[in-house]
Structure formats: C-alpha cells, structure tokens
Chain A
Amino acid sequence: MNHSCSHTHYDAFTQQVSEQIKQAVAEQRTLQISGNQSKVPLNGDEQIDLAAHSGVIAYEPSELVITVKAGTKLTELKEVLAERNQMLGFEPPDYGDSTIGGTYACALTGPSRPFRGVLRDFVLGTKMVDGRGQPLTFGGQMIKNVAGYDVSRMMAGSKGSMAVITELSLKVIPLVEEHTYYKEMHEDEAIILMNQMAGTTLPLSGCAYYEGRFYYRVYGEHPHQDATPCDNSVWLTLNPFKPKLAPGQKLWRVDTEGPAPSIPNTLAVGMCGQRRWVVSDEPPAPYSTQWQSYFAPRHNDTQEVAKIKKGLKQVFDPHNVFKNL
C-alpha cells in the first residue's frame, strides 16, 4: 500500500484540494467552494478557495478549444480569446471579477442564448475533485465525445454542492462584429416581433425589450428604415441585469416560452422572450428564480426528480461535505 504514490500524477492544487476535503470528511466538517464571491456570499465554513487557481492551461484557436483553471476571471478569459479573434459563445454575465468556475457553477448565459445556446452547450470537459476527495475527469477537449455519461455538462448549475471543479475545457467561437438597432413599441407587440424575426435568416444574436424599446442585435450591419441604430450598451445593462429596486421589492428571473404573453410588472424581456425580469412578492410563473445577490435555488422539482438529484448528490458527495444552497 502506498498512498502517496496513488496521487503523483495530479497537480499540486488538485492534491491540496483532495487533502483538504479528506481532512474535512474525517473531522465531519463542511466546506464552501468559493471564487471571487461576486455572487454567493461566504457562509462561515472553511473555504476551498479557487480564486488564485487561475490561468489558461491550453488554447488551440484552430481547434476552437480553450482549457482554463476554474478561478480564471471572465475578463482575463475574454482578453485571451479576443487576441486570437475568438470569444465565448454564451456571453456570460460578469458580476464583478466573476470567475469561469462560478459562472459554470451557476450555469449563467447571456442574451445570445436563443441563437448560440447555453453555457453547458460549450462545455467539453471538466476536471473535478468529488466529496470523497477523488480527482475525476469527464469529457475532454473534443467537440464531439459521447464516451460515458455527460457529467461535465450535468455539473453546470450544481452551485458548489457536488464537487470542486478545478479545470474546464470550453468550445469557443469566432469573434463577430455586432450592431444593435431599436424600435419604440409596446411590450406585447415586441414579444411577438422578436419571435417572428428569430424565425428568419437575419443573423440575430440578441432580442430584448427594455423601457419601451425593442432592441435587436445582428452580426454585421443590417440597416432597416423602421429601426434606429444605437450602440451595444443595452446588452450590458441587461447582462447582468441589476435594476434599482424600492425597499422590500423582490426581483424574479422568469424562464418561459419565448412568445408567452407579457407578465405584469415586467422590467425587462430578454432572450427572445425566454427570459423575463419581474418585480413581484410571489413567484410570478412556474420557472421563477429570486435574485438575492445570486439566484436562489427554486426547490420546486417534482418528487421523482428531487429523488434523482438527492441520489446524485450521494454519488458525488456522500459525506455532505458541500452544502446545498
């Protein structure tokens, strides 16, 4: 038996995380996985700090793949990609020094979602350490890979409750030049129009409604007599969307069918109508998530699905060393 030998092929950080987890399990303590705390606040547990675990591990522009450490800031990642005329396809919101790991843990995607897909669509592989302290690798650096269950996509949205994600491989896309146009109109009208436009071959990358205006974004220039050109700043206003609220007001992120009718007290409509930002005391629709500096879990799964999630938690974190949010 030789314990030291079984880990020699893992890097120092992975070994350190593994030891930290094993120690906590032995002492029956819980741990919190943290990045730059741009979303989820610290809960007082000992941290597994990924903020310093940062940087690009491998980048092959011609293969459209980048592999990064989980603590890499979104700003740094975007800069590295832009130098080679590439970008992230899922337009993640940056809450202030947000890391790619935290963005993945919260499964956050921006306005381009209806046109390019969600974060997990771009995840090709992950390295992680589970709640036993076991280093694991799922997926890889290939755009196509169907060997084994797709654990690296499943973990997107796990919010630090399953395993410590240490590395991610992501598919990237060519950098595009985009232009934004707007039209003044009513919300209901805009919701229908944005869905109609999305069914055409206009190369769209964003459709939203905000403060009386329907905004759309396209690759390249597509002037239209009815629409007014403007700069691209509205997409940053909406992503991340952080409106000023009156004391006591609750903000909800609602996911719905694109053409669904408007919801009362909507502040903004994004993602071709698939995303609504609503002020309300109660959840305004079935898929509503409350904004509390991060997106609070909904806890509204059916009994059967809740059972599956509980079972999977046991698979990856049998000692409950990571807390559920």
Chain B
Amino acid sequence: MSVIQELKQRLSQGSVIVDAEQCSPYECDGLSAYRQKPLAVVLPANVDEVKAALRICKAHRVPVITRGSGTGLAGGSLPLENGIVLGLSKLNKILHIDPLSRTAVLQPGVRNIQVSQAVEQYGLYYAPDPSSQVACSIGGNVAENSGGVHCLKYGLTVHNVLSITVINMDGETLIFDEKDDGLDLLALLNGSEGLLGVIVEVKVKLLPKPDTAQLVMAGFDSVSACADAVTSVLEQGILPAGLEMMDKFSIMAAEAYAKVGYPLEAEALLLCEVDGSYDQVKVDTQRIAEILKNSGATSITVSQNEAQRISLWQGRKNAFPAVGRYSPDYYCMDGTIPRRKLAYVLEEIEKLSQKYGLKVANVFHAGDGNLHPLILYDANKPGELEETEKFGAEILKLCLDVGGTITGEHGVGVEKLDSMCHQFTTPELEIFHAIKAVFDDTGLMNPGKAVPTLHRCAEVGQMHVHNNQLPFPELERF
C-alpha cells in the first residue's frame, strides 16, 4: 500500500488531501517567494490521528512538515516534494482554563489572540503578541519562539510556556514541563522549528491585564538622538511595555496609510508605551516625556485616552503593508543588534541600499534590539529577488559583525540557512545536527530547515572564521 492509501485508510474522512487545487494553499507560508507542492496534506482530527500519521510516515520514510496557520516568515513550513504537510488546524480547542493558577491548556491550532479573548472575563491575558496574532497558532508560536512588540517587559514565547506535549516519529508521547529536573528540555523545544517533535498540547502562563496603558510618541531629528533617548529611558530604571522606532521612510509611509498624525518632518519616531496600575502609569508617563524632552525630542505627544493610544499605534502596526504600497514586493529582515550600534547599522544599510539600487524602510523594536529592514523589490523583474536576498544576507552579516544575531523572532526556516554558516562554527552546527538526531533519528521531521548542512556552508563559502583561523584546519573543505 502507498503512504497515501495507508493514511486515507487510517485517518477520518477528508483528513488526507491530494487534490492539487486543494493542496495549493499549503504550498507556501508567509515567505511566499518560496513554493513547493507537497505529496499530500494531512489534517488529523485528533492526537491519535497525529500519532498514526507519524507512524505511517516513518514506515514509508516520508518526511513530515508540521504546519500551524502558515504565517511564518522564514519558510519553516515550506513543503517538500516527497513529504506530507501535517496541518494541525483541526486541533483548535482550548482544553482548560484555570483562572486561580492563571494557566490555560491549549491545542496547537488555537490562534494566539483567542487565548486572550477567552480569558478576558477573568481579567487575564496571554502576553506574547506577534503581529500576526489574529491568525498565527500557539503551536507555531512555540515552534518559532515567537516574539512581539512587548518582549522587553513580558518576554518571548519561551518565557510564557509552562509545559508542552510532543509526539515523535514513533508516535510516542513526550511531556516537557517547567517542573522537570535536570536539562531544560522545555526551553530547547521552544524555537526548534518543527525539527524535534510535533507539538500537540501547550500549557501557557496567563498574566493579569494591566489596569491601563499610555503611549508617548516623540519625533527626533536624527536616528542616533532617538536611540540615545531610548538608552536614557532604560537607564532611568523604567521598563516600558513597548518601545518602537521607525525611520523617515517608515514614518512617511505609515502616515500616508493610517493618517494618525505622525510628525513627517522627523528623521526618527519613537513610540514608548507603559502599562500597569493607574498611579504607576501616570508617574512613568510623565518621567518618560521629561526624559525624551531632555534628549532633544522635536515633538512629543502623550495619548490622552484609549482611543488615541490605539490610533497612534495604527501607523506602526500597519507599517509593513504601508511600506508595501510603494513597491510590488517587499522582503522583511529580522536581525538583532545592540541598540548602541543602531545609527551605524542604519548608515551601512543605506550604503547597501544604494549599492543594490533597492529602497529600504526600517522599523526597530528598540527595547530588545530587533531590527526589521523592509527591502522593496519587484519579483517580476528578472534577478531582482536574488539581488534582494543577497542584500538581505549582507544586512544579517552586518548584524553579526556588530555583535547581534541573524534572527530575533522569525526563525531560520529555509530563508537564513546560509546566514547560519556565519553565526555558528562547524562544531556548533554538528552539535545541532546531533541534537536533532537524538529526538528524530530518522531525520524525517522538517528535514533541511533551521540548521544548514556542513556541505552547504562549505559550498556557499561562508564557513565561520574567527580571526582568519579556520576551525579544524586539518579537515578538508569541499
């Protein structure tokens, strides 16, 4: 029997899709420049069907690409021609909410925003809020260790997950809990990009909803003045819930799109939000406005009510589509850098922009150093996507050179495999491959993603070299 026949026989009706048209929505994720038709799409109706599907795929040696909502931006759930897509959208139930212990147990297909909506009646919420939160799934959030604009104060997904249940290729169940002893395997599974197991249950931490939030918006006449202002806020011991920066192009595009009153004359814009009790927010807001004024802000707006706060965020939250209106396509990068290097990095990106003849808009999670340059290009112009990718890779190299990293929250997927060769040495990459083999000795779980082969690193000539010294110079390079 073929793998598809066996899957159809074992799983409930309609769970196995082979029809080309019905498979087409699964051909790519949020990184839509990459597309591939899978062998089949399997949508298990329950955890038993997940186990059965994995056992069948193992027996037939068929790769499994697990998929949540398909909103990932790095091609982590890009199908393989000879592999199945294991879509977990039917596992979408909130299994348990415990307001007293402030926890919720979720199936992986539950959408991020649904959690906060379901627990709002208890005055609680789920803190991580990736910008795709209306669509993205909790399972995908764990697989990518997703962030959001409130990471500085409330952490990433890994900081808000208490326990996960995963299924391996043998259909066995493994539970990783924060109460476990010894190695922190729960932390390891967060951000493992579907290479170590299929997540079928997630227990998350819920937080009390702050009484209020207030936003201070400030314009600056240079990027460095804006970055210095953020430094001053943090040095004064204030931990804002959100700290977002935009460059001139982003300000212009966002204002044209959302018309919320951003200062168009500014070279850089800062959005600084504080949340908490009414008293604390009032005190912090005044202090922040004062610090920003002393740091040379050319304009300051403090939100006077909830409607104004939400309105002022609209520009930033729509920055990507707003910038996207100026070009047929845009490519979103995800490096992180120390904030003190921001002005230098933006200057260098501007030079690269001129070198490649491609425009760039920059938005920056200023609190945690996560920089999202948006490169504008036209996929219909021959060779422009390739040039854009080269440009992107140079930006990531730049991030590494100033002490940052190639991905802050989007993950490696297929997109940043070459850049991984810059960030890690051969022994480190070997360790990563060995870790995968411990969880998945068949190598069938999302193969080829997240960690480049050593062969690939040698081929692209991006072997990680410190001080011009090759690691293991005695080894042959091919």
Check A107 against B184 for contact (C-beta < 8 Å). yes
Check B237 against A5 for contact (C-beta < 8 Å). no
Check A196 against B368 for contact (C-beta < 8 Å). no
Residue from the list A156, A196, A297, A298 in contact with B184, Cβ < 8 A: A156
A141 contact set on B, CB distance < 8 A: 338, 403
Within 8 A of A (CB), among B84-133: 98-103, 122-124
Q: Does B326 sit within 8 A of A, measured CB to CB? A: no
Q: How far is the CA of A315 from the CA of B420 in the complex (A)?
A: 20
Q: Does A95 sit within 8 A of B, measured CB to CB? A: no
Q: Does A118 sit within 8 A of B, measured CB to CB? A: yes
Q: Does B77 sit within 8 A of A, measured CB to CB? A: no
Question: With contacts A154-B187, A174-B237 known, is A196 near B100, CB below 8 A?
Answer: yes
Q: Does B449 sit within 8 A of A, measured CB to CB? A: no
Check B211 against A201 for contact (C-beta < 8 Å). yes
Check B208 against A148 for contact (C-beta < 8 Å). no
Residue of B nearest to A163 (CB): B431
Interface size on B, residues (CB 8 A): 96
Check B185 against A120 for contact (C-beta < 8 Å). no
Q: Does B32 sit within 8 A of A, measured CB to CB? A: no
Check A147 against B420 for contact (C-beta < 8 Å). yes
Q: How far is the CA of A89 from the CA of B147 in the complex (A)?
A: 19
Check B467 against A8 for contact (C-beta < 8 Å). yes
Check A305 against B159 for contact (C-beta < 8 Å). no
Question: With contacts A148-B451, A255-B179, A305-B175 known, is A315 near B407, CB below 8 A?
Answer: no
Residue of A nearest to B412 (CB): A147
Q: Looking at the assembled complex, report how far the CB atom of A18 sits from the nearest CB atom of chain B, in whole angstroms.
A: 12
Question: With contacts A6-B472, A121-B155 known, is A157 near B182, CB below 8 A?
Answer: yes
Q: How far is the CA of A203 from the CA of B144 in the complex (A)?
A: 30
Check A142 against B405 for contact (C-beta < 8 Å). yes
Q: Does B427 sit within 8 A of A, measured CB to CB? A: yes
Check A140 against B210 for contact (C-beta < 8 Å). no
**Which of A23-31, A46-54, A130-138 has 4 or more CB atoms under 8 Å from chain B?**
A130-138
Within 8 A of B (CB), among A136-185: 136-138, 140-151, 153-159, 162, 173-176
A85 contact set on B, CB distance < 8 A: 237
Check A316 against B184 for contact (C-beta < 8 Å). no
Check A63 against B339 for contact (C-beta < 8 Å). yes
Q: Does A282 sit within 8 A of B, measured CB to CB? A: no
Q: Does B316 sit within 8 A of A, measured CB to CB? A: no
A156 contact set on B, CB distance < 8 A: 184, 187
B407 contact set on A, CB distance < 8 A: 145-147
Q: How far is the CA of A154 from the CA of B211 in the complex (A)?
A: 35
B194-213 near A? 1/0 per residue, CB < 8 Å: 00000000000000111100
Q: Does B336 sit within 8 A of A, measured CB to CB? A: yes
Q: How far is the CA of A69 from the CA of B69 in the complex (A)?
A: 42
Check B424 against A148 for contact (C-beta < 8 Å). yes
Given contact pairs A62-B232, A144-B405, A256-B179, a sample of 10 additional A-B residue pairs in the complex whose CB atoms are under 8 Å apart: A140-B403, A143-B151, A143-B367, A145-B405, A146-B144, A148-B423, A199-B123, A201-B208, A259-B98, A298-B182
Interface residues of A (CB under 8 A from B): 1-3, 5-6, 8-9, 60-64, 84-86, 107, 117-118, 120-121, 130, 134, 136-138, 140-151, 153-159, 162, 173-176, 192, 195-196, 198-203, 220, 255-259, 287, 289, 297-298, 300-302, 304-305, 308-309, 311-312, 314-316
12 CB-based A-B contacts, threshold 8 Å: A61-B235, A138-B428, A142-B404, A146-B411, A154-B187, A173-B239, A199-B208, A257-B103, A259-B98, A301-B182, A312-B435, A315-B435
